[in-house]
Amino acid sequence: MSTTTTIGVFDSGFGGLTVLRELLPLVPGAHYIYLGDTARLPYGSKSQATIARYAAESARFLESRGADHLVIACNTASALAMDEITAAVRIPVTGVISPVVQLTHDRYPGADTLILATAATVQSHAYRDSCEAAGLPATEKACPLLVPLIEEGWIDHPVTRDVLRIYLREALALCSPQVVILGCTHYPLIAPLVALTLQELGSNAEVIDSAQATARTVAHMLSQNGTPHPATTTPHAATCEFFATDSVEKFARLGSRFLARPLEEVQLVDLGG
Amino acid sequence: MSTTTTIGVFDSGFGGLTVLRELLPLVPGAHYIYLGDTARLPYGSKSQATIARYAAESARFLESRGADHLVIACNTASALAMDEITAAVRIPVTGVISPVVQLTHDRYPGADTLILATAATVQSHAYRDSCEAAGLPATEKACPLLVPLIEEGWIDHPVTRDVLRIYLREALALCSPQVVILGCTHYPLIAPLVALTLQELGSNAEVIDSAQATARTVAHMLSQNGTPHPATTTPHAATCEFFATDSVEKFARLGSRFLARPLEEVQLVDLGG
């Protein structure tokens, strides 16, 4: 009998691959199944009911493929559909919001917190509510151009620097954060640029990455649930399967940037219209 | 019996409002019904079959509301679903691609033509094929950041100028166009910036706007079909109804930029998932 853990990782697109990238060294012996629901992205513009239906279908797909732990590596689904996802499957589910808020609270209790996220995530106020429940005064800043810039591949680009400077200057006019949360799974790709721009603007806020925080939480949960901890087992290479609901060519091309390594074969899956 | 023409205008989002804006002075006495299928945008990332189904549903909706002429003010649907749309309704249908290519050919026969468009439109090569059929040597340039910048409201903004300079410099390294077609219904909002940037880069290409070309074609068709020409009738104000399949608040807010005037009440319509 195999003791390999199978971790399902779900996002509407590619961004969740930054969570997978953080998971690989923390839980190296696991088998990973990643699903990007690329045919139906962006979730941000959809109604809550539609997002919940899509996310629940995606979660059931990953469970049906053998996942025994599910990571919702998608801010919109984490913000709007955690109840429906948890109800749709029988396996434990981890979203991206609780882990990063918990980590912020543990490290910097009571810290003034700035959350950078997409317009849809900001409109849901899921981060603000979660921060405030943890005693962290929170300001949310929508940064709608960052995802298109990152998807264009302009990671360390003068235009991206200019855009970031504009967004951060606007945000720092409203608050003096001690912590800046990257509340979108695309943003880890520009984390160094965010830290640099904050310094340029005279802020010494710490940057916390929701992908990293989520991966740590999952690794911790697995070790508590009796899954052999990577440090105590003979390490063997993680295996990965990738599924996308739209163009597998585009997924492999863009996804390799997010995963920071070439993607193995991507399989097309149809979850319906 | 009323002789008012009812023109249905369809786009996946707000961009088609630039076509409506051009139609209003050319066919001022008409009644307009605009549908933005905002819940299902962007069409660009969907399969051809899905786009065709969505577009056909949208076309039938506008016909059922009384439209006796249909304008597909959406490049993706014009590129990928004209046959299905035409088959779905009994009223005449005009897309955005043929009119602008025809206008370019009439004014500048044989001209080297550069098409600026979204990645999805470029991938379909609908503009290139249509230009080459009209004897216009064509180069297509995908400009994926322009729509997000325009939707952010950064119309005459240093960042938008920088991005446009980068895209146009890349395009001008490949061709020396006499004509530049704005092949996306968002782009008329930055038409002056495109012309200025071309001049800066040493090009004296003419900029042709697909919204304007489409509106002229529709006005011409209506006058040929016996619809009273605006110049020969007592002008009376156009009336407009607006429908969106997602947030009507966002539609009214963003849409007013594209229409260049405040939007009357927007009605929510459900065309299914």
Q: Say which amino acid occupies A1.
A: M
Asked if B255 and B236 sit in the same domain, the reply is yes
Task: Report the C-alpha gap between A5 and A140 in whole angstroms.
Answer: 36
| Helix B126-133 vs helix B97-107: crossing angle, to nearest 10 | 40
Q: Which two tokens stand for residue B74?
A: 């959406």
What's the pLDDT score for residue A45? 64
User: Is residue A87 situated within a structural domain?
Assistant: yes
- Of A189, A210, A231, at which residue does a domain stop? A210
B140: domain CATH number is: 3.40.50.1860
Q: In B, residues 227-266, which contact A (CB 8 Å cutoff)? A: 246-247
Asked if A79 and A128 sit in the same domain, the reply is no
* Domain of residue A35, residue span: 6-95+212-268
**Is A74 tagged catalytic?**
yes
Asked if A133 and A105 sit in the same domain, the reply is yes
Whether residue B195 lies within 8 A of chain A, CB to CB, comes out as: no
What's the pLDDT score for residue B227? 62
Total number of domains constituting chain A: 2
Mean of pLDDT values over A44-66? 89
User: Is residue A218 situated within a structural domain?
Assistant: yes
- Of B177, B195, B210, at which residue does a domain stop? B210
pLDDT greater than 80 at residue B260: yes
Q: What is the ipTM of this complex?
A: 0.84
Whether residue B26 lies within 8 A of chain A, CB to CB, comes out as: no
Asked if B216 and B87 sit in the same domain, the reply is yes
Average pLDDT, chain A: 91
- Of A161, A184, A210, at which residue does a domain stop? A210
Asked if A87 and A167 sit in the same domain, the reply is no
User: Is residue B273 situated within a structural domain?
Assistant: no
Residues of A in contact with B166 (CB under 8 A): 159
Whether the Cβ atoms of residue B241 and residue B248 lie closer than 8 Å to each other: no
Nearest CB to B41 within list A45, A53, A159: A45
Asked if B138 and B203 sit in the same domain, the reply is yes
State the pLDDT confidence band at A3, using cuts at 50, 70 and 90: low
Q: Read off the pLDDT of residues B126-170 as tens digits, 9 standing for 90 and up.
A: 999 999 999 999 999 999 999 999 989 999 999 999 999 999 999
Pairing of strands A239-244, A31-36: parallel
User: Is residue B231 situated within a structural domain?
Assistant: yes
Does the beta-carbon distance from A47 to B246 stay under 8 Å?
yes
User: Is residue B1 situated within a structural domain?
Assistant: no
Q: Read off the pLDDT of residues B201-234 as tens digits, 9 standing for 90 and up.
A: 999 999 999 999 999 999 999 988 766 555 445 5
Q: Read off the pLDDT of residues A62-110 as tens digits, 9 standing for 90 and up.
A: 999 999 999 999 998 999 899 999 999 999 999 999 999 999 999 999 9
pTM: 0.88
Whether residue B53 lies within 8 A of chain A, CB to CB, comes out as: yes
What's the pLDDT score for residue B3? 67
Whether residue A38 lies within 8 A of chain B, CB to CB, comes out as: yes
Asked if A204 and A105 sit in the same domain, the reply is yes
Asked if A218 and A206 sit in the same domain, the reply is no
Distance from CA of B221 to the nearest CA of A (A): 36
Nearest CB to B50 within list A42, A144, A273: A273
Q: Read off the pLDDT of residues B64-107 as tens digits, 9 standing for 90 and up.
A: 999 999 999 999 899 989 999 999 999 999 999 999 999 999 99
Q: Read off the pLDDT of residues A132-144 as tens digits, 9 standing for 90 and up.
A: 999 999 999 999 9
Of residues A33 and A119, the one with the higher pLDDT is A33
Mean of pLDDT values over B21-33? 94
> Which helix or strand (DSSP H or E) is residue B177 part of?
none
State the pLDDT confidence band at A169, using cuts at 50, 70 and 90: very high
> Which helix or strand (DSSP H or E) is residue A20 part of?
helix A17-26
**Is A175 tagged catalytic?**
no
Whether residue A202 lies within 8 A of chain B, CB to CB, comes out as: no
User: Is residue A18 situated within a structural domain?
Assistant: yes
Asked if B72 and B146 sit in the same domain, the reply is no
Does the beta-carbon distance from A50 to B273 stay under 8 Å?
yes
Asked if B181 and B114 sit in the same domain, the reply is yes
User: Is residue A133 situated within a structural domain?
Assistant: yes
Asked if A40 and A21 sit in the same domain, the reply is yes
Nearest-Cα residue of chain A relative to residue B39? A46
Asked if A109 and A196 sit in the same domain, the reply is yes
